[in-house]
Every structure is written in structure tokens, then in C-alpha cells.
């Protein structure tokens, strides 16, 4: 078998060769029985591939599909009604206002109030808890303020929401943006407070929660924009 | 608007079911599923293998449900669905970051590929032979020789050159020839 020729046989079979190459292959095929046999085999392979029947799955998969689409909104339905979004905005405003007041009070108090000593806490297997044998050292999990993965996820979702903005009605866009503004404000407040008191576990927890809430809201908004 | 008795007796068409499903009618969507599932499952099984076919087929129909509102009728529903299925399969491959390795021009896969003897059941044997192909060659063989896509389209879908698509197709055909006792 001559590989320099057989390598061209699929292209020849599919009519993909330039005229000169095609003529050269044809001339070779007239003289070479091996390559002609390979070409015939390839023709059989292609012919059988084109004649394959489809086969259904061995088990019925509809139950799984049905369960999943039941859990989501229908294609033209909006996942959240306007009153629901409005209610969410009110709750967020109330939570944000309460937290802002709390933050101001907490940042003026010693660390020992915001984080109980390790010995007073419920048993924990976390490295921070098991690594401390003293009772006067606060166990505080620091929050990374420069979480590249989080920032990238937020940026991606913000882009998705921006791109899908045209598919959402104005009232929905206004509410989503208003909620984001509130959450961003809460994040900024928590960051400022943490800058003054970096070891404050309560503030760290609040910042984590606010960031999680922002991610969640962006995910929902992106899903709305995609599904609408 | 209420249907008249005559309209109610008219047989449902795929277009009717697409329109109803897009409005949230799960029964209409189930009819679409039953009409097309064999073709979609055959595609996913041949492209990804039997172990992933069921799950990915379900993913395809869930994605279809989500995107029905975007179907404009520019092509037949079956064509639109099939292309969506191909995209889901390709995304699946990319998610597991195996695409580029499998599309490489490395001859190792060809050299290491085992060649089994032909079996009595020729149809099953052909399907089994497809499963034996190295993944990169297999998906191009399925897309080109079974599904009828052109090299240009395959190159665009898989983000590879037309030349790579042609080489992988030839590799797949030569392996199939061996598998089938040629």
C-alpha cells in the first residue's frame, strides 16, 4: 500500500482535491490494485455510515427531563413576579439599613464581643479551631478581599446581565439594579469597617454574606435574561 | 379562541407542538421529545459513547425547553434541535477540557488503536467499531459521514482547521476499514 496515495483517498472520495491532484490519483488508481482496493473499502465504510439507522435509548429518559423542566419556569414565563422582586428590594433595604446601624455600633466595641474564644465554641474540626489551645485568642476567619475567582464570576455575570438587558422589561432592570446598588453599598460599608478592624469576625461574616448575596442576585438576573 | 369541532379533529403538527411547548405546554414538549429522542440519543451515543449518552440526551432536551422561545422557524425544528444537540455535546467536551487533546494530529491514538475481528451482526459491529475510534477522529467521522456536516462547518464547530478535520476523517475511515476486517 502506498501511503502517499492512500492519504489522499478520502479527499478524492469526497471531491475535495484540486483538479491536478484528482487526475494524479485517478492515474495511480488505474495502475495500483492495492490502492483501488483501499478506495473500495473506504467507499463501503462511508456508505454504511450514511445508511445507519437511529436507535432510541434503552430506557425511557422522559422522566428525568420532565422532572428537570418542572423545576424551572416555562420558556416564556418570568421566574420572579414584579411584586416578588419589589418585596425583595424592600427586604434588602431593611436588612441593609439594620446592618449599617449594627456595623457602626460593632466597630466601636472590642473584638472579644464579636468573636467568642475557641474554648467557648461548639466542637469544630476546622483547622482554625483545632490549631488553638488558648482561650483568649479570637478565632477569626479572615475574608479575602482580593478574591480573583469571585471577581471574575461577578464580572462574567455582570456581562451576561448587561448583554441580556434588552430582553428584560424596564421595571425588572430597575429593581435588579437597585438591589445591586444596595448590596454594593453594604459591601463597601463592611470593607471600610474591616479596614479599621481587620480581625472582626462579625464584619468578615457580613462581608462574605453580602458578596454571596450579590453573586446570587446576579445569577438570578442572568438566568432571567437568558430565559426570557 | 375556542377551536371548532373541525379544527379540533385536525392532526397535530410538529409546528403546533413547538408553539404549544414554547408557551409552557409540557405535553406538547413530550410529543416533541418522543419524535426526536432516537436521533438525538444516537448522536450523543456515537459522539460521546454509551455511558454519557443518556445524561447528555436529557441535557439536550432541557436546554431545548429553555431555548424554545428563541426558535424562529427559519429552519425545520428537527434541524434546529440537532444543531443545538451538537452544541451541547461540544460544550460537554470542552467542559472536561479534553477537546484539544483529542483533536491533535498525534498519530499515537491511531498506532495504539486495537483492531478487533469482524462479528456476525454487521450493524452492531459497525456501531461498536465507531465506539472504538479515538474520540477526536470519532466525532469528526460522526459529524461528517453520519450527520452530513461539511469540513468547513465542523472546523467552525470544533474550532479546528479544515485540514485537521480532513486528516481526522481519513484516519477514522482507515480505522473503521480495519475494524471491519478490510
Q: Is the pLDDT of residue B161 over 90?
A: yes
- If asked whether residues B93 and B104 sit together in one domain, one would say no
CATH number, domain of B111, equals 1.10.10.10
Query: How do the pLDDT tens digits run along chain A, 228 residues long?
Result: 577 888 899 999 999 999 999 999 999 999 999 999 999 999 999 999 999 999 999 999 999 999 999 887 544 544 455 556 566 666 666 665 555 555 555 544 444 333 333 333 333 333 333 333 333 334 444 444 456 667 777 787 787 777 777 777 777 777 777 778 777 877 887 777 777 777 666 677 777 777 777 877 787 777 777 765
- If asked whether residues B68 and B93 sit together in one domain, one would say yes
Q: Of B94, B98, B68, B89, which Cα lies nearest the Cα of B80?
A: B68
Helix axes B26-48, B122-132, angle to 10 degrees: 70
The DSSP output letter for B70 is: G
Task: Report the Cα A1 to chain-centroid distance in Å.
Answer: 52
Do B177 and A41 lie within an 8 Å CB cutoff? Answer: yes
Q: Phi/psi at B154 (nearest 5 deg)? A: -65, -45
**Would B8 be classed as within a structural domain?**
no
Give tens-digit pLDDT for B67-86. Answer: 998 998 889 999 999 999 99
Q: In this predicted model, which residue has the larger pLDDT, B99 or A102?
A: A102
Hey, is the C-beta of B63 within 8 angstroms of any chain A C-beta? no
pTM beyond 0.80, yes or no: no
pLDDT of residue A115: 36
pLDDT of residue A84: 61
What does pLDDT average to over chain B? Answer: 82
- If asked whether residues B80 and B132 sit together in one domain, one would say no
- Tell me the average pLDDT across B34-46: 96
List CB contacts (< 8 A) between B23 and chain A.
74-76
User: What residue in B sits closest to A227 (Cα-Cα)?
Assistant: B66
B46: containing domain: 13-97
Give the domain-ending residue among B47, B78, B97.
B97
The DSSP output letter for B69 is: G
List CB contacts (< 8 A) between A227 and chain B.
66, 69
Contact A20/A27 with Cβ under 8 angstroms?
A: no
Whole-number Å distance between alpha carbons of A23 and A30: 11
Map grid coordinates 419556569 to a residue.
A73
CATH number, domain of B21, equals 1.10.1740.10
Hey, is the C-beta of A122 within 8 angstroms of any chain B C-beta? no
Long-range contacts of A88-93 (CB under 8 A, 24+ apart): A88/A175, A88/A179, A89/A175, A89/A178, A89/A179, A89/A182, A92/A179, A92/A182, A92/A183, A92/A213, A93/A182
C-alpha cell at A16: 475535495
Q: Is A165 exposed, middle or buried (0-12, 13-18, 19+ CB in 10 A)?
A: middle
**Would B34 be classed as within a structural domain?**
yes
What Cα–Cα distance (Å) separates residue B33 from each residue in A40, A91, B41, B66, B152?
39, 41, 11, 14, 30
Q: Is the pLDDT of residue B8 over 80?
A: no
pLDDT of residue A88: 63
User: What residue in B sits closest to A49 (Cα-Cα)?
Assistant: B146
pLDDT of residue A54: 94
pLDDT of residue A162: 79
Hey, is the C-beta of B68 within 8 angstroms of any chain A C-beta? yes
Whole-number Å distance between alpha carbons of A178 and A98: 17
User: Three-state DSSP class for A138?
Assistant: strand
**Would B147 be classed as within a structural domain?**
yes
User: Three-state DSSP class for B177?
Assistant: helix
From first CA to last CA, the distance across chain B in angstroms is 63
- Partner-chain residue, chosen from A48, A56, A77, that has the shortest CB–CB distance to B126: A48
Percentage of chain B lying above the pLDDT 70 cut: 76
pLDDT of residue A114: 35
Hey, is the C-beta of B27 within 8 angstroms of any chain A C-beta? no
Do B180 and A45 lie within an 8 Å CB cutoff? Answer: yes
Q: Is A125 exposed, middle or buried (0-12, 13-18, 19+ CB in 10 A)?
A: exposed
Map grid coordinates 465507531 to a residue.
B130
Best B45, B51, B122, B182 residue to mutate vs chain A (most A CBs within 10 Å)? B182
List CB contacts (< 8 A) between A12 and chain B.
none
List CB contacts (< 8 A) between B69 and chain A.
75-76, 227-228
User: Three-state DSSP class for A145?
Assistant: coil
Contact B118/B177 with Cβ under 8 angstroms?
A: no
pLDDT of residue A92: 61
List CB contacts (< 8 A) between A72 and chain B.
65-66
Give the domain-ending residue among B74, B97, B120.
B97
Q: Of B101, B98, B10, which Cα lies nearest the Cα of B52?
A: B98
pLDDT of residue A77: 44
- If asked whether residues B26 and B45 sit together in one domain, one would say yes
Q: Phi/psi at A138 (nearest 5 deg)? A: -60, 135
Whole-number Å distance between alpha carbons of B13 and A56: 21
Do B177 and A68 lie within an 8 Å CB cutoff? Answer: no
List CB contacts (< 8 A) between A76 and chain B.
22-24, 69
Beta partners for residue A138, in sequence order: A117
Hey, is the C-beta of A72 within 8 angstroms of any chain B C-beta? yes
Give tens-digit pLDDT for B114-146. Answer: 444 444 445 558 998 999 898 889 999 999 999
Do B67 and A16 lie within an 8 Å CB cutoff? Answer: no
Burial letters for A184-208: b for 16+ Cβ neighbours within 10 Å, e otherwise? eebbebbeebbeebeebbbbbbbbe
Hey, is the C-beta of B145 within 8 angstroms of any chain A C-beta? yes
Beta carbons within 8 Å of B90's beta carbon, 6+ residues apart:
B99, B157, B158
**Nearest-5° angle of CA A124, CA A130, CA A134?**
110
pLDDT of residue B73: 85
What Cα–Cα distance (Å) separates residue A60 from each residue in B17, B41, B126?
20, 11, 24
Q: In this predicted model, which residue has the larger pLDDT, A83 or B60?
A: B60
pLDDT band at residue B25 under the 50/70/90 scheme: very high
**Would B114 be classed as within a structural domain?**
yes
The count of structural domains within chain B is 2
Taking the domains of chain A in order of start, what are their residue ranges?
3-50, 79-227
Amino acid at each position: 500500500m502506498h501511503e502517499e496515495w492512500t492519504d489522499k483517498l478520502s479527499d478524492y472520495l469526497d471531491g475535495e482535491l484540486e483538479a491536478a491532484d484528482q487526475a494524479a490519483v485517478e492515474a495511480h488508481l488505474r495502475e495500483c490494485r492495492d490502492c483501488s482496493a483501499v478506495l473500495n473499502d473506504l467507499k463501503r465504510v462511508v456508505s454504511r455510515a450514511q445508511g445507519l439507522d437511529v436507535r432510541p435509548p434503552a430506557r425511557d429518559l422522559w422522566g428525568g427531563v420532565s422532572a428537570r423542566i418542572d423545576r424551572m419556569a416555562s420558556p416564556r414565563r418570568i421566574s420572579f413576579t414584579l411584586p416578588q422582586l419589589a418585596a425583595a428590594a424592600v427586604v434588602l433595604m431593611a436588612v441593609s439599613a439594620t446592618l449599617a446601624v449594627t456595623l457602626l455600633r460593632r466597630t466601636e466595641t472590642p473584638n472579644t464581643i464579636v468573636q467568642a474564644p475557641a474554648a467557648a465554641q461548639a466542637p469544630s474540626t476546622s483547622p482554625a479551631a483545632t490549631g488553638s489551645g488558648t482561650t483568649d485568642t479570637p478565632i477569626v476567619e479572615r475574608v479575602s478581599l482580593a478574591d480573583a475567582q469571585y471577581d471574575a464570576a461577578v464580572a462574567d455575570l455582570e456581562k451576561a446581565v448587561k448583554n441580556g438587558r434588552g430582553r428584560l422589561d424596564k421595571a425588572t432592570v430597575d429593581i435588579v439594579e437597585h438591589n445591586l446598588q444596595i448590596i454594593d453599598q453594604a459591601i463597601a460599608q463592611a470593607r471600610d469597617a474591616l479596614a479599621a478592624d481587620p480581625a472582626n469576625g462579625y464584619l468578615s461574616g457580613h462581608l462574605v454574606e453580602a458578596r454571596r448575596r450579590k453573586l446570587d442576585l446576579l445569577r438570578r438576573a442572568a438566568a432571567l435574561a437568558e430565559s426570557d | 379562541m375556542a377551536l371548532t369541532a373541525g379544527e379540533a379533529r385536525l392532526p397535530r403538527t410538529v409546528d403546533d407542538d413547538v408553539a404549544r411547548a414554547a408557551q409552557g405546554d409540557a405535553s406538547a414538549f413530550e410529543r416533541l421529545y418522543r419524535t426526536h429522542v432516537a436521533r438525538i440519543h444516537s448522536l450523543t451515543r456515537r459522539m460521546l459513547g454509551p455511558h454519557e449518552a443518556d445524561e447528555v440526551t436529557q441535557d439536550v432536551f432541557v436546554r431545548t425547553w429553555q431555548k424554545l422561545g428563541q426558535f424562529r422557524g427559519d429552519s425545520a425544528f428537527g434541524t434546529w434541535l440537532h444543531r443545538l444537540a451538537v452544541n451541547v455535546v461540544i460544550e460537554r467536551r470542552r467542559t472536561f477540557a479534553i477537546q484539544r487533546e483529542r483533536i491533535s494530529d498525534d498519530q499515537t491514538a491511531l498506532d495504539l488503536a486495537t483492531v478487533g475481528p469482524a462479528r456476525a451482526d454487521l450493524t452492531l459491529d459497525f456501531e461498536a467499531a465507531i465506539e472504538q475510534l479515538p474520540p477526536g477522529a470519532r466525532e469528526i467521522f460522526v459529524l461528517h459521514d453520519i450527520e452530513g456536516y461539511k469540513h468547513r462547518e465542523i472546523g467552525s464547530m470544533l474550532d479546528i482547521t479544515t485540514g485537521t478535520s480532513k486528516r481526522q476523517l481519513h484516519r477514522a475511515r482507515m480505522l473503521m476499514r480495519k475494524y471491519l476486517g478490510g
